[in-house]
Amino acid sequence: MIYDECQTDIGLLRFVLKENGTLARVFLTDHHWLTFVENNTVKKSSELGKPIREQFHEYFGEERKGFDLPFELEGTSFQKQTWKALQAIPYGETKSYSEIARSIDRPQAIRAVGYANSMNPLPIIFPCHRVIGKSKSLTGYVGGIEMKKKLLHIEGIVI
């Protein structure tokens, strides 16, 4: 697998690409990255990663509200359905876990939606940071609550 990285307002992001240049994973923390590297062979390619770096820099510079990158998702059909619902959350807005569950016609699957969010391979691109608790509380985030707050703040959301 190929990877590249870029420094952002929330720290060092690393992303993994397939040989054909499609995006497969975004890592927000060293912990998850190190676990991935222990189990996979990776080589760095700044050339293949350039369009991804550029779009992340535009997002963090508040010049971009969405991403236009080729990607390949691996997950269950429920996870993919949940991740697709994340893309329907407009920039600068939030939805609750229960709203996401209802939007995919699974109103009782609130915890499953939360779990699918925790397994999201393309955070920020599939904006799970925009999903909050029903009472407007910030709940778990793979990069931590502070990172979630920063991402929401970039989009003009203060909770």
Ramachandran category for residue 103: left, alpha or beta (phi over 0 → left; psi -120 to 50 → alpha) = alpha
| Joined tokens for residue 106 | 């699974």
Q: Are residues 4 and 52 in contact, defined by beta-carbon separation less than 8 angstroms?
A: yes
pLDDT digits (tens, 9 = 90+) for 67-123: 999 999 999 999 999 999 999 999 999 999 999 999 999 999 999 999 999 999 999
CATH C-level class of 77-154: mainly alpha
Vertex 57, ends 95 and 79: CA angle to 5°?
35
- Measure the CA–CA gap between 22 and 92, rounded to whole angstroms: 26
The radius of gyration of the chain's CA atoms, rounded to the nearest angstrom, is 15
Which of 2, 128, 132, 154 is labelled catalytic? 128
Helix (H) or strand (E) holding 77: helix 77-87
6 annotated active-site: no
pLDDT digits (tens, 9 = 90+) for 125-148: 999 999 999 888 888 898 999 999
Instruction: Locate the domains of the chain by residue range.
Output: 2-60, 77-154
Instruction: Enter the pTM of the model.
Output: 0.93
